[in-house]
Structure 1
Amino acid sequence: MSQHYTKKLSKIKWSRSENNVITALLYWIILGLFLYSYLESDNPLSLSVVSDRLVDALSISMIFLVNRISNKPTDEFHSYGFHRVEALLNITIITLFIAISAYSAILTTELLIHGIPISSGSTALSAIIAIPLLIVAGVTIEHDEKSNFRIMFIHTLQDLAIMIIVLAFSLLPFYFFSQYLDYLGSYIVLFIILYGNRNMFRRNVNILLEGSSVSVKEVEEMIRKEFPSVHHLHIWDICQHQRVATLHMSIPSQMQIGELDSVRKDIERILSKYGVNHVTVQFESNNGDNI
């Protein structure tokens, strides 16, 4: 590798890292805006946003640590590497998020029951400031398909939609003279946030349970169209971008190694259509003896 190329690569890596630091700072600034808004006005709408912003700020900050761990090379005790730490982080963050959201919903209900007067001005101002900050965050964040930051980029787009809803519900009371719109907006925002994260929660629980989003039955039927003797197929996800499969295949005992290699490549080709990028095939002779 030439010195010029090495310097260029280092510059690209630094640029990405610098952009992601900027994105993390923007998330914390947005959290600070709505936290101040809630403390200043007791507006439940601001509290709902705080629960989401806190989790996002923690998530994008911890991704730096997670990426550092998950990119460590394999060793004699971790042959698949440390990729599953990604799922562990996501489960921890989502559990925290659910707890904070539940607290937010309970507090919003208490405020509604007691009919405490609230002000929407600071919430509206925070949303107005947050919208361009989220746009900048979406531009600066890393867009690599295999990166954890890719997930945060998609989530940032969802946050923009939520922020527009927050702005709408914080401005409506000025025209309809009803503080109940803030409570309604708070419940709607909480529902959207919880509903929007359901798939990520399910996916990461599935990873920790050594499952996968693809149907093993469907994949096995597809392989058996070409290789009917395939059996004992297992597929599981190590992380969100590493899927593993193992299978057994009965073959005539007189087959040569070159023929087996061709069969293996065909099986890998089929499995790659389902996102499998690591395959182990155990060949077995028809008489029951393993090869």
Structure 2
Amino acid sequence: MGHSHHHHDHSEGNIKVAFFLNLGFAIIEFIGGLWTNSVAILSDSLHDLGDSLTLGVSWYFAKVAKKDRNQSFSYGYKRFSVLGALINSIVLVTGSVFIIIEAIPRLFSPVNPNTEGMIYLAIGGIIVNGAAAFKLSKGGSLNEKTVFTHLLEDILGWVAVLIGAIVMHFWDFPIIDPVLSVLIATFILFNVYKNLKESFRIILQGTPSNINIKKIHEVIIDIPKVLDVHDCHTWSMDGEYHILSIHLVIEDNLQLSELESIKKETKTRVSKLGINHTTIEFETLNENCDPC
């Protein structure tokens, strides 16, 4: 439990740093867009302001996820971080569609902006977003992964702006900028799809992708005095904290101390397979189980 709490402190701190970096640079970027007369940078500044809002929401949900369980939420608030990831994904999709809509007209009527100013802003954007992304790159929570994807979008966007600005600076070839924007937005939409798929898997209480139910059966059935294993259900709270509910058929007339030993051994074995919380029900061979 202590490890999980420490992780969420770490997650919250990472998102907090990314939020302030992103918000600060979005303001600089907006001013820079006006200075360079670049619609691409102005559009990206609005996109970054949207990112900052999303990061703020993620930061808030990372804080909420740390709250202890209570009567209203008996498993705690960990799933709120998944809500943060969902909101992030929706904003990402909206932002990417916006980029595509903005880029398509420029394919037919490109505009040459202040390319030197664009180069300086692009380098700054890569450094700032790169620092924020590095902070989140080792994050394990779904929320952190989604925010990392968000920042990756920004870095790739700035790389595109940098390449486009350099090319436009030396050659009259402005169409490269909208082409790169469309390609990057498509790449991001693919990544968002994967994050959304995982978010919905958690919300719909699907079996976590890194949990093997067959392996859980194998390690438990091997415990002395356990005759059968069934009614095995496993789901995740937030993509990291996994829960298991299981029925164990045991030999008749076992002592309380023997039951305690089986329970302890079961929890130890499944914890090595990634299960954090286990609920066990004991049955005998003659008992008529009513599986749920």
Q: TM-score, normalised by structure 1?
A: 0.77
- Per the alignment, do residues 136 and 102 of structure 1 end up closer, same or farther by CA in structure 2, a change over 3 Å counting? closer
Aligned equivalent of 2:43? 47
- Give the C-alpha shift of residue 196 in structure 1: 3.3
Residue identity in the other structure for 1:178: F
Any conservation in 1 of the 2:160–2:181 contact (CA below 8 Å)? no
- Per the alignment, do residues 249 and 126 of structure 1 end up closer, same or farther by CA in structure 2, a change over 3 Å counting? same
Any conservation in 1 of the 2:58–2:85 contact (CA below 8 Å)? no
Deviations 1:230-254 (A, max 9, x none): 1111111111331101011111122
Aligned equivalent of 1:8? none
Among all aligned residue pairs of Structure 1 and Structure 2, give the percentage whose two residues are the same amino acid: 20
Does residue 174 (structure 1) correspond to residue 174 (structure 2)? The answer is no
Q: CA RMSD, aligned part only? A: 3.3
Unaligned runs of 5+ in 1: 1-12
1:1-291 matched pairs, under 5 angstroms = 21-36=16-31, 40-43=37-40, 47=43, 50-51=46-47, 53-113=48-108, 115-119=109-113, 121=115, 122-137=117-132, 152=147, 156=151, 159-160=154-155, 162-211=157-206, 212-223=208-219, 226=222, 229-288=228-287
Count of residues in Structure 1 that have an aligned counterpart in Structure 2:
272
- Give the C-alpha shift of residue 29 in structure 1: 2.5
What is the CA–CA distance in structure 1 between the aligned matches of 2:281 and 2:114, rounded to whole Å?
A: 65
- Give the C-alpha shift of residue 216 in structure 1: 4.8
**SS in structure 1 of the partner of residue 176 of structure 2:** helix
**SS in structure 1 of the partner of residue 237 of structure 2:** strand
Q: TM-score, normalised by structure 2?
A: 0.77
What is the CA–CA distance in structure 2 between the aligned matches of 1:186 and 1:144, rounded to whole Å?
A: 27
Deviations 1:175-228 (A, max 9, x none): 342111011111122123223333322221211111222355433443365256
- Per the alignment, do residues 35 and 274 of structure 1 end up closer, same or farther by CA in structure 2, a change over 3 Å counting? farther
Residue identity in the other structure for 1:253: D
Unaligned runs of 5+ in 2: 1-8
Residue identity in the other structure for 1:223: V
What is the CA–CA distance in structure 1 between the aligned matches of 2:132 and 2:230, rounded to whole Å?
A: 48
Q: Which moved more, 1:60-69 or 1:244-253?
A: 60-69
- Give the C-alpha shift of residue 141 in structure 1: 6.8
Any conservation in 1 of the 2:221–2:228 contact (CA below 8 Å)? no
Residue identity in the other structure for 2:215: V
